[in-house]
Amino acid sequence: MWFFLFILALAALAGLHFWWRAKFSALQGRHAAELDSSQRRQQQNSVDAQAQQKTLFDSMLEGLLLLDRNRKIHLANRAFKNLFGLKAELRGKTIVEALRIQELDGLLQRAETEQQVLDYEIKLPGLGERWLQVNAAAITNAAGEREGTILVFHDLTRLKRLERQREEFVANVSHELRTPLSLIKGYVETLLDGARNNPEVAERFLKTIERNANRLDLLIQDLLTISALESGRMTLDLQPVRLRALVDKVFSHLQTKAEIKNVVLVNEMPEFTANGDANRLDQVLSNLVDNAIKYGRTDGCLVVGGNTLADGAIEVFVRDDGPGIPPEALDRVFERFYRVDKARSRDQGGTGLGLSIVKHIVQAHGGEVRCESELGQGATFFFTVPAK
């Protein structure tokens, strides 16, 4: 009897052991599955975080470069690669190996010593002028040990060009104002010293003073016009403008100048009607026709005409048969104060702002300007305006 009970107890214990073992195995399997799932979630979260980080870095307008403690590139965003025109993989390279710019290696050493370097400007080597502003900072851990360096690059090229244009503009304005003022001052001093007592000399001097005063007034008016156009303060009074009649009006105003050089004015403009500001378009045509007379050849011919473009806009042209414009000057003739022949332009009394005013007025109408020319074959200026 006791033996039977003992065997039964052993069987029960064995069954209980195997049940707990199966239970434990199931729990262990479930725990392993949960652990594996947790690890996969962590890995996915890490991948997602890295993807979000890369997306964030690539969306930055500034170039970003992250270096490790060995000065090897750990991360370079899209803007950085675009700044330097790079397509190859940069990870693991030094900044000198990637860019071949020794100056940046010196900047890194400064950043490691001084912890950060701000507003450092560097001019990139190459044919085109390019400027970058670089901010660098050392990355340290809680113990104060350097873990790497971060560099942020900002393209300053446009700002540098605008600053140079501003400086050139101020220098040109100063020169243009100083020349007639010096002449006026010199002739006035001569008159005060006794030349006024000679009627013939006094009249000649006063005419020179008047001519230079008019030149100053014209320059100031052109400067005010340029300022108003560039700032957007000048509004256009848009209305239907009959272009052929406008060309006739401009020709009548400049007929005397044309007759002095024996230049024939030809109006080939069809009966087009533009949607524009009549006074401003008059200013555009007057500048172009006046230039064509002024710089064209004596006994020459000047033609104004037009045609329609595929988009419905009207293209107007002013063509002369003068000496033409050098190829290197074609892209610059619409710049403020740019002169193909400086000495001749000043002798003719121009301000150097006429074509710049033409460009701004046409652009205010939503049009474009351009020039075509070959040396010895004359020049043709084109501008577009919207049709009525």
Which amino acids are annotated catalytic? Answer: 175
Distance from first CA to last CA of the chain, Å, rounded? Answer: 121
Contact by Cβ (8 Å): 64, 76? yes
Nearest to 180 by CA among 210, 213, 207: 213
Name 302's bridge partners. 265, 320
Question: What b/e readout covers 350-368, taking b as 16+ CB neighbours within 10 angstroms?
Answer: bbbbbbbbbbbbbebbebe
Of 387, 385, 336, 361, give the one whose Cα is nearest residue 232: 361
**b/e map of 237-252 (b: 16 or more CB within 10 Å)?**
eeeebbbbebbeebbe
User: What span, in angstroms and rounded, lies between the C-alpha atoms of 190 and 205?
Assistant: 9
Tokens representing residue 185 in the block: 């001052």
Q: Where are the beta strands (DSSP E) in the chain?
A: 63-68, 73-76, 116-124, 130-140, 146-155, 239-242, 264-268, 273-276, 301-308, 314-320, 369-373, 379-385
